[in-house]
Amino acid sequence: MSKEIKIGFTWSRDLAIEASQKFYEYDMRHSNKRYLGWFFVGLTQFAIVGALKHDSYGLLYASTFLVAYWYYGRWYLRKAMLGKFYDKQGLDAKEAHFTLKEEGLYNETTLIEWEKIFRVIKMEGGVLVQIQNNTLYFKRDAFNSYEDMQSFLEMMRREGKI
């Protein structure tokens, strides 16, 4: 890689919620957790038969609640909790700057080494970078140009992160 790639953006409450939603949607499509939702749907079907045959509605109510929570309620609960966290902490928008170099990804003074980067996910609106216990979200406009974003992704491919 001949030139450094600079990434800069303003981290705010709205961007944190957007990043959380992107990661949540990706995780629900590509994780084994999605099968648990299918289990709840199957349980609901079993509960419908039980309700019709035995006039027992407890399992039907519980399984319907679980399906509604799993497919519709979890994101809204997560979004509300994240919003409350930002409100309670009083966190303001903060400038964030990263630089991609041969050694890894630098955050102003700290080096995030290649071994610490778990995987990189290219998304429609930007790039998710999973780092051990954190996830970074770089929107497309965080890069100086589209070519810089493509170079960033190419470097991540070379390092085996995509």
Low-confidence ranges of the chain (pLDDT < 50): 1
For residues 117 and 161, is the Cβ–Cβ distance under 8 A?
A: yes
pLDDT, one tens digit per residue, over 64-75 is 888 888 888 888
Rounded CA-CA distance 68/33 in Å is: 15
pLDDT value at position 138?
Answer: 92
Q: Would you state the pLDDT for residue 2? A: 55
Query: What distances in angstroms separate CA 91 from CA 83, 107, 110, 111, one per listed residue?
Result: 11, 19, 22, 24
> Domain spans of the chain?
5-12+94-158, 19-89
What local confidence, expressed as pLDDT, does residue 91 receive?
73
Rounded to 10 deg, the angle between the 13-30 and 74-89 helix axes is 150
Please give the DSSP secondary-structure letter assigned to residue 125: S
The per-residue pLDDT for 79 is 92
Residue 26 CB contacts under 8 Å (≥ 6 apart), including other chains: 121, 123, 128
Q: How many residues does the chain have?
A: 162
| CATH of span 5-12+94-158 | 2.30.29.30
Is the Cβ–Cβ distance between 121 and 110 less than 8 Å? no
Q: Please check whether residue 112 is in contact with residue 106, taking contact to mean a CB–CB distance below 8 angstroms.
A: yes
